[in-house]
Amino acid sequence: MKIKLAKEDIESSKIQLIERVSGEEMRRCYQCGKCSAGCPVSFAMELPPSQVMRFLQLGRVDEVMKANSMWTCVGCLQCYARCPQGVSVAAVLEALRQIVLRKGTDHERIKDVPFPFMKSAPQQAIVCGFRKFVS
């Protein structure tokens, strides 16, 4: 992959929006990789947390939006708990979800959720799941 870098991309309005919604500054991340080391779902992510941060630093929002990382994040906050710079990648990923959901695009259709789950799961799982996946 070859990336063409430009100031307009690095400081694009999309990046500014992500920074505003997440409350995190991308350039605070110094790419140590501690988040990716401890992330329990990193194995299932197309881009591990530190690479999500890196692509956003480079202004490459599209690559991040295409990846499943934001929908795989469980919000366990292990990344934030251990980040030496105090950056919450979980907040950045939630911001990405919010940006999608706030446009009214659902990630999950309620009718697709398996019935046995709806019947037996704790209420909190259903409420939480809908809040993370549905606009």
Min CB(36)–other proteins separation in Å: 4
Between 4 and 43, whose beta carbon lies closer to other proteins?
Answer: 43
Min CB(59)–other proteins separation in Å: 19
Q: Which residues contribute to the site for other proteins (CB under 8 A)?
A: 20-23, 30-34, 36-44, 47-48, 50-51, 72, 74-78, 80-86, 88, 90-91, 93-95, 98, 108, 112-113, 117, 120-129, 131-133
**Separation of alpha carbons 123 and 102, rounded Å:** 23
* C-alpha dist (Å) from residue 9 to 6, 12, 98, 113: 5, 5, 21, 37
Q: Where would I find the H helices in 23-88?
A: 34-38, 49-57, 61-66, 69-72, 78-82
Between 12 and 38, whose beta carbon lies closer to other proteins?
Answer: 38
* C-alpha dist (Å) from residue 120 to 58, 98, 129: 44, 28, 14
Between 84 and 104, whose beta carbon lies closer to other proteins?
Answer: 84
Between 6 and 82, whose beta carbon lies closer to other proteins?
Answer: 82
**Separation of alpha carbons 75 and 69, rounded Å:** 12
Min CB(56)–other proteins separation in Å: 15
